[in-house]
Every structure is written in C-alpha cells, then in structure tokens.
Amino acid sequence: MAAMLTLEEAQERLLALAPIGETERIVTDKIADSRYLAEDLQALRTQPSADLSAMDGYAICGEGPWLKVGESRAGTPFSGALEPGQCTRISTGAHMPNGSDRVLIQENACLNADLVHLAESETLPEAQRHVRSRGFDFAEGDRLLTAGTSLGPAQLALALASGHGKLPVRALPRVAVLDSGDELVRDPLECGPDQIPASNGAMIGAMLRPLVGEVARLGPVPDDKAALAEALAQAENCDILITSGGASVGDHDLVRQALKDWGADLAFWKVAIKPGKPLMVATRGKQVIVGLPGNPVSSFVTCFLFALPLVRAALGAANPLPPVQHLSAGENLPEVGSRREFLRGISDGAHVRRAASQDSSALLALASANCLIERPACSAAVSNGEQVAVYNLQNG
C-alpha cells in the first residue's frame, strides 16, 4: 500500500494540475477583489506628473515678505512664473508655480492685503518643504506590480493612476460542486429522521464564490451509479469539479468508480492530515477533480487547504496557498500522532485556543472558529504561551 502524501507533496501535485485560464483584459474599475494580474504592470505615466503642493498655503519664491500675485488650484495651475518676493495661494495637490521651490503653510503665514508675512516666531521653510516632487511615487516605464499579484483596492487604484483603464487577468474557471450520499436532502424542511440536510455543497459553494462568482451545484446525489453518472454529465464543461463524500472505501462510496467510468484518471488519494485523510484528486483531460471527504469539517478544512488554492492557481495567483502566522497558544495542546492536525481555533489576534469540539462532524464548533491551528505530525505537546502556526479563516 502506497504511503500517504504529506500536505506539501499533495498541494504541490495538485497546483501543478491547475487549469490556468486564457488571458483577458477587463475594465480596471470593474475587477473584483479576487483577480490576479496575468502580466507584469508597467506605468504608462509619471505620478505626480509635476511638482505638487502637499499642503494648503502659499508657494513662495525667495525670502519674504511676498506679494501674492495669483493662485494655483488642483486642476487649475498658475500660468505665470514667480519672481523673488512673490507668491501664489496654493491648495493641496496643485502644481507648484515656476520659480517656487517650497510651500509656506497657511498656519505659519499672515496675510495683510496681498502681502504675505511669516507668522510670529516662524522661520522660512527649507527648500522643497511640503512639495511632492515630480515622479516621487512612480515614473513612466517603472514596473509597478508583477504577474500573479492579487488585485485588491490599493492595487486597482495604482493601476488606474498609472494609466491602465484595462488590466490583463486570467479567465474565471468554471467550477461545479457535487455532494453525494443517500442520507442527504436538499431542502432542510423535508428532512426525515433518517436523513440530514445537504450542507456541504452550500458550504463549499460559499467558500468558492468570492473567487469565481457562479458555482454550479450538482447535488445532492444519492449513492447510485446511474444518478452519479447523470450528475457528472452536467459537469462536462467545467474546469474544476469539487465533490464531497463517496470517495472513501465503504460499500456505498461510489464516487471514485463513477469518476473512472466518466473517463477520469486518479492522480493521488489520501493525505497524511487530520481531518481530511481521504482527499482524492483526479483529472479528465484538462479538467481537475478534487474529492473532499463527506464529514462537514473535513470537507471545510480540505476545501480551504486544497480546493481554494487550486482555484487561485487557475486564476494565476503567484502565491495560491493560504498564508500562515504565529500566535501564542492560549492553552496547553496535546502531542500529535502520525498525521498533521488542523484544529479549529478561536483567535483574539494575539492568542489562540481550540474550539469547543474537534469532531469532524461538529458544525457548531466550526461556525465559532476563525482560524485553523496547524500541529505538525509527531510533534510534542505545546504549553500555554508557546507559539503555534495559525491560518486565518474568512468564516463569518
């Protein structure tokens, strides 16, 4: 029997299969937060394009007092040039007039008719004081962002300021979710005593939608070969298929065989993590199938560690894996067995403790968690106050 893959081995093998989309150009101010640059971004203009005032006050030339000869406003620069002993009123963001090299802020100035003096006890500001020099932010031709950068609000603002009305991004992958099990019912109000509401499909879809928008939900599907074949036929044109349940070795776990009958080839199965050991990955041409365990917590954790990074990689993310940080344990944690563990945790930003239950079916504890505590395989017990690795969750 083949040894289980480590987390790193499984993630590396999965991400190598990512169905990266074609490059398309989208209007910059229409791009959602979850897209990534498909190409390096170079500035098409210089910012600022001229020397600007950083404060409201007076653009001055020479030593005072200064005769006010005009005004420079943002969008309406002073058209002339200053001579020694002259100044203009100037507002924040306005062009510095020719001949001026500093700004006397209005709090440090006294105006008598059109003559500006230094306020009592104030000294002449040094050259370039309160001036934003041309190009201090970036210059035309500068490389501002690299391919794979996440396009958040600040990056989109930078792109627009540097002259880009459209940006190159990867096309959104088409994603479908299939949850299976005889016990699952789509409508909770129709759930009998021997059934459970089908929550995994909705949960996984909610995790994926911020990245891809629409997610096709194909379940719940009963443990039946014909029903699974019919559901898989609806995934014919998807790029990524996420399944939940039916991928283990029980008599009614039929997903692996159904995928094989559909034409999929198993890439790997089983990862040395807890929860989530039965994770399965398969391919069908360029399609990638990620089979998550059926227990809801296991499904959530493996979606976070595998399905979400796969989708980010398909979108062109340079760093598709979730970032890790280190916090102080807020309690003693026991030693770990042969599989790496991911405990549901509750963090206050400095300390972290375990959620009330670590059972792989405990949705109440999962809903209260805002992070995962990573515990390496075969690691010793951790004492209260020691550092532990933590993954933050967007979990409500």
- Per-residue pLDDT tens over the stretch 188-200: 899 899 999 999 9
Average pLDDT over residues 94-115: 96
- What local confidence, expressed as pLDDT, does residue 197 receive? 92
Q: What architecture is the 7-21+172-314 domain classified under in CATH?
A: 3-Layer(aba) Sandwich (3.40)
Neighbours of 98 (CB within 10 A): 14
User: Is 90 exceeded by the pLDDT of residue 245?
Assistant: no
Distance separating alpha carbons of residues 203 and 196, to the nearest angstrom: 15
> Residue ranges per domain, the chain?
7-21+172-314, 23-46+137-170, 52-132, 325-392
- What local confidence, expressed as pLDDT, does residue 301 receive? 97
Q: Are 361 and 181 in contact (CB under 8 A)?
A: no
- What local confidence, expressed as pLDDT, does residue 2 receive? 65
Q: What architecture is the 23-46+137-170 domain classified under in CATH?
A: Alpha-Beta Complex (3.90)
Which homologous superfamily does the CATH classification assign to the domain defined by 325-392? Answer: MoeA, C-terminal, domain IV (2.40.340.10)
What pLDDT digit, counting tens, does each position of 186-239 carry?
Answer: 988 998 999 999 999 999 999 999 999 999 999 899 999 999 999 999 999 999
SS3 of residue 322 by DSSP: coil
Q: Are 21 and 314 in contact (CB under 8 A)?
A: yes
Q: Are 342 and 301 in contact (CB under 8 A)?
A: yes
Distance separating alpha carbons of residues 130 and 90, to the nearest angstrom: 11
What pLDDT digit, counting tens, does each position of 23-75 carry?
Answer: 999 999 999 878 999 999 999 999 999 999 999 999 999 998 999 999 999 99
User: Is 70 exceeded by the pLDDT of residue 372?
Assistant: yes
Which residues, 6 or more positions from 77, have their beta carbon under 8 angstroms from its beta carbon? 50, 94, 95, 97
Distance separating alpha carbons of residues 154 and 157, to the nearest angstrom: 5
Average pLDDT over residues 355-365: 94
Distance separating alpha carbons of residues 194 and 192, to the nearest angstrom: 5
* Fold classified for 52-132: Molybdopterin biosynthesis moeA protein; domain 3 (2.170.190)
Q: Are 197 and 181 in contact (CB under 8 A)?
A: no
User: Is 90 exceeded by the pLDDT of residue 271?
Assistant: yes
- What local confidence, expressed as pLDDT, does residue 247 receive? 65
